[in-house]
A and B are shown apart, each in its own frame.
Chain A
């Protein structure tokens, strides 16, 4: 599975949009981009995933560049409860092995 690169940390103001970048320049054509977050002492929570089209659900939006080498997770209106470590993961269609990197530690401030 392709490796991902994320900034180690970022701050966001409560009520504002949070844009979390992820680079995956070696992604293959059949690999998906998944986003998870982990709040302290809890298991990772699935947020969203996509292949090449932009995706939106009740939690977030995922924007994937046309060349698929990078993506952005958008939390439209960040709340204090969105403070967590966010992981961007690239995974092929086969198997359930998720390779977690360091993630981005997001701190939402009042």
Chain B
């Protein structure tokens, strides 16, 4: 079975630009979450989406936004990129059951220069 897929795998952007990262969840999973992992730290929660609605948001500025599509895939958008946005961006999907574990993709490595 295909796991969570993310694209692109690597990306280099310049300060001030914007970026769109994409995620396809595991088949049957309706909930998608996004995490940011800066080098040397654990992942930090950015967003959760379920049924195309935002269900949770972490402590990130408004430059970060996301959406979920009818097929449950998702996009993460980051505007006005800063050097500090350089990180591994992880997408995770899950069933909607209360204790359903999250399953992560291998992420998009974003480098801002």
Residue-wise, chain B 1-12 has the 8 Å CB interface mask toward A (1 for contact) of 000100000000
Is there contact, CB below 8 Å, between A49 and B45?
A: no
**Complex CA–CA separation, A102 to B92 (angstroms):** 19
Interface residues on chain B, size class: 20 to 34
Residues of B in contact with A (beta carbons under 8 Å apart): 4, 31, 33, 35, 42-45, 48, 55-56, 58, 90, 92, 94, 98-99, 101-107
Residues of A in contact with B (beta carbons under 8 Å apart): 32, 34, 36, 41-46, 49, 51, 87, 93-103
Is there contact, CB below 8 Å, between B104 and A45?
A: yes
Interchain Cβ contacts under 8 Å between A and B, 30 examples: A34-B101, A36-B104, A41-B106, A42-B106, A42-B107, A43-B90, A44-B90, A44-B92, A46-B101, A46-B102, A46-B104, A49-B101, A51-B99, A87-B42, A93-B98, A95-B55, A96-B45, A96-B55, A96-B56, A96-B92, A96-B102, A97-B45, A97-B48, A97-B56, A97-B58, A98-B43, A98-B45, A98-B102, A100-B44, A101-B42
